[in-house]
Amino acid sequence: MEQKIHQGRNVKRFREMLGIKQEALAFDLGDDWNQKKISMLEQKDVIENDILKQISNSLRIPVEAFQNFDEEQAVNIISNTFNDQSNGYNYYPTFNVNPMEKWIEALEEIKRLNLELLKAKDEQIKVLEKLLNK
């Protein structure tokens, strides 16, 4: 048995998740929209594609989200995978960082930067000497 997706309810869900009031959505959709019309739209099972596109542009959510989102399936997916170690996620990661290695790397970087500074200073001294000799 195929369950029908309620597009109006999906519009309402996404609008509420974004924290947008019906009045604000109506204002964004244009002059011929008001809060009452949005309320009635959210009660419809199927919404016309052109209206869905307008809402999609306003909320910046793909049209497919309104057409395909099924809360029951989403809850099933989340409940079946949450904190399940077989999904490949490591919830208790271990980090193998050797602080001594990091310290040595930092010292090597400091040495390299000091050499660059000395080289730049020597070049600057040569330029100044040339200017003084002229």
Q: What is the pLDDT of residue 67?
A: 87
Do 33 and 41 meet the contact criterion of CB atoms below 8 Å apart? no
Q: What is the pLDDT of residue 119?
A: 95
Burial class (CB in 10 A: 0-12, 13-18, 19+), 5: middle
C-alpha 58 chain-centroid distance = 18
**Per-residue model confidence as pLDDT tens digits over 117-127:** 999 999 999 99
Q: What is the pLDDT of residue 23?
A: 95
**Per-residue model confidence as pLDDT tens digits over 78-124:** 566 555 555 555 556 666 777 888 889 999 999 999 999 999 999 99
- Lowest mean pLDDT: which of 37-41, 56-60, 76-80, 85-89? 85-89
